[in-house]
Amino acid sequence: QVQLVQSGSELKKPGASVKVSCKASGYTFTNYAMNWVRQAPGQGLEWMGWINTNTGNPTYAQGFTGRFVFSLDTSVNTAYLQITSLKAEDTAVYYCARVNIAAATTELDYWGQGTLVTVSS
């Protein structure tokens, strides 16, 4: 069955970096792009962007350029989100979610369980 399994919670100090992983199984990894979605405490969902798992080409939403980097390791069917120069306002749950690029669909049909990143001194 399809699964997206994310890495565990992280506690980081301001200015540090964090790398969140999202390991996919149960489907052909390169048929689905991987999206990243942020949810700050008590807030709504925010689309951060996505990465094409065929080409490795990322697309970043406004507000998520510069310190946010999407990457892949297709040998282990894993997508990564790296955030550098962390700020307190980066404290949030980060989700990965797939979309079927092979079929050119737009719905996020499977989601990871979420990774809580806490930034605090």
- Site track 68-87 with other proteins (rule: CB under 8 A), x = hit: --------------------
Residue 111 three-state SS: strand
Candidates 11, 45, 88, 102: give the one binding other proteins (CB under 8 A): 45
Task: Report the candidate in 115, 116, 100 with the shortest Cα–Cα distance to residue 5.
Answer: 115
Candidates 29, 86, 95, 117: give the one binding other proteins (CB under 8 A): 95
CA distance 51 to 31: 12
Q: How many CA atoms lie within 13 A of 42 on its CB side?
A: 1
Is 117 one of the binding residues for other proteins (CB under 8 A)? no
**Nearest distance, CB of residue 95 and other proteins, angstroms:** 6
C-alpha torsion sign, points 102, 106, 109, 114: positive
Q: Taking CB under 8 A as the criterion, which residues in 16-35 touch other proteins?
A: 35
Give the interface with other proteins as residue ranges (CB under 8 A): 35, 37, 44-47, 49-50, 59, 61-62, 95, 97, 105-109, 111-114
